Homo-oligomer: A and B are copies of this chain.
């Protein structure tokens, strides 16, 4: 095992940035967090107090200019993900970029382009979008069993991301720039769908509908608080997605992969821990309140494996092109959600323009 550590710079110390910082700094032996950058003074104070030996920058470009890094973790605001990722890519650094790359498809594709260009010169360079569920032990177990052929070919993929109701309403503000519920909530389900059904599988059609049950103000932003979608792929595969922002008991991520000879359920009964209480209200358990309670271990594994892939020149487990594709699909679903129209795709993967209208 080589003794050199992966020298890392982190962009952003918001909610996810802090978590990445702790995971790489404290829990990933082969990583060394060298520097972080954030324009937010409060975050810089947090960094000083919690990231011993790490240099704190206000400006991302300054960090890139002054530090000798091997890798950059982009955990800043979504609006700058792509720009910051491209700058790091251009320097030949490995990049782990928070999802989504962008809510503008062209911009997302430009990240992929930058990587493809850079990789010609830096064949060992790794760029990965942080789809944490691919590192979750349960999804891996499920994927492994299917890959081994234990259950036959997958036929139907059903997945949901349903978030705890945010009573503060801060979520509604966030919705303005989130890209919509499919880009914000379902992007993980879409990534899993591609992973389980095949990243190159051709999409034939998709369709979505949704409602605003608890946040009617979302309508003005062309968004919804509950939505269902279904997608049709070639080779006889269908997918059904559900996303919600009004769960009462906690965050509920569940996935079913129904194969020809068996089916796999991931987290159909959420649970925060192993405690069940029996009292006058019945037998009950708590659910995770947020995705991080469910996926904390996956994020730590992600940090560990990203580090390992970079240091040992092993392919990262998620291709950047599939992450761009996830955005494409999420945005098409969001369009269908708003228009109500079913969208068809041709053999070339392009949307088929239609004169479909509601009369």
Q: Which residues of A contact B (CB under 8 A)?
A: 1, 3, 25-29, 49-50, 52, 137-138, 141-142, 145, 151, 153, 155-156, 158, 162, 205, 207, 209-214, 226-230, 232, 236-238, 240, 242, 244, 246-250, 252, 258, 260-271, 273-287, 297, 340-342, 344, 352-356, 358-359
Contacts and interface: CB of A to CB of B under 8 A. Distances in A.
A117 B152 CA distance: 54
29 contacts: A25-B29, A26-B27, A138-B275, A162-B258, A205-B340, A207-B207, A209-B232, A212-B236, A226-B238, A228-B238, A228-B240, A240-B242, A247-B263, A247-B278, A248-B261, A248-B263, A249-B279, A265-B276, A265-B278, A268-B268, A268-B269, A278-B287, A283-B285, A283-B286, A284-B284, A341-B342, A342-B342, A354-B356, A355-B355
Copies per complex of this chain? 4
A213 B260 contact: yes
A interface, by DSSP: helix, strand, loop or mixed?
A: mixed
Contacts of A205: 209, 340
A116 to B, nearest CB: 33
Contact of A279 (B232, B244, B248, B342): B248
